[in-house]
């Protein structure tokens, strides 16, 4: 994901140049490409926490039954797992892996809530 975002940042950096624009070189390490990668990583890191609007959009897309609170916690967990995967530039992003991480976090949250509930009984 970093490389994908970096390519777009690179295009924006060179837009409007009077001279011929350099091409993006896969795996290249020019100053401009490295600067684009740093900017891409910073942009993705800036999105680490979903906004309230994003969580509301998730909840609108997946209506939650009245009184259910656990499902509200899923949106940030899924989002965080996806951002973590996007920042892991050592491997290509696999949506199944990102979703698996999110579901592991959800399972842990469910287990913690169930444990707390049984303690109160």
CA distances 11 to 8, 49, 72, 115, Å, are: 5, 27, 38, 51
CA distance 14 to 23: 10
% of residues, the chain, pLDDT over 70? 64
40 shares its domain with 63: no
pLDDT at 1: 85
Domain total in the chain: 2
Q: Which two tokens stand for residue 10?
A: 């690179």
7 shares its domain with 23: yes
69 shares its domain with 90: yes
Between 74 and 26, the more confident residue is 26
pLDDT average, residue stretch 108-121: 60
pLDDT at 90: 57
pLDDT at 96: 62
40 shares its domain with 62: no
pTM, rounded to two decimals: 0.58
Structural domain including 117 reads 49-121
8 shares its domain with 66: no
42 shares its domain with 88: no
User: What does the pLDDT look like over 18-65, one tens digit per residue?
Assistant: 666 678 888 777 888 889 999 999 998 888 888 888 877 877 887 777
If pLDDT is split at 50, 70 and 90, which confidence band does 94 have?
Answer: low
Count CB neighbours of 14 within 10 A.
Answer: 16
Q: What is the dihedral of CA 85, 91, 97, 103, to 10 degrees?
A: -30
């Amino acid at each position: 994901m970093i490389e994908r975002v970096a390519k777009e940042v690179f295009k924006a950096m060179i837009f409007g140049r009077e001279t011929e624009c350099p091409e993006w070189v896969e795996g290249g390490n020019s100053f401009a490409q490295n600067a684009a990668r740093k900017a891409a990583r910073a942009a993705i890191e800036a999105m680490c926490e979903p906004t309230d609007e994003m969580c509301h959009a998730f909840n609108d897309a997946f209506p939650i039954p009245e009184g259910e609170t656990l499902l509200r916690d899923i949106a940030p967990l899924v989002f965080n797992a996806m951002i973590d995967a996007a920042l892991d530039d050592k491997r290509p992003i696999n949506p199944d892996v990102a979703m698996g991480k999110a579901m592991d976090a959800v399972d842990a949250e469910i287990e913690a809530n169930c444990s707390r509930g049984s303690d109160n009984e």
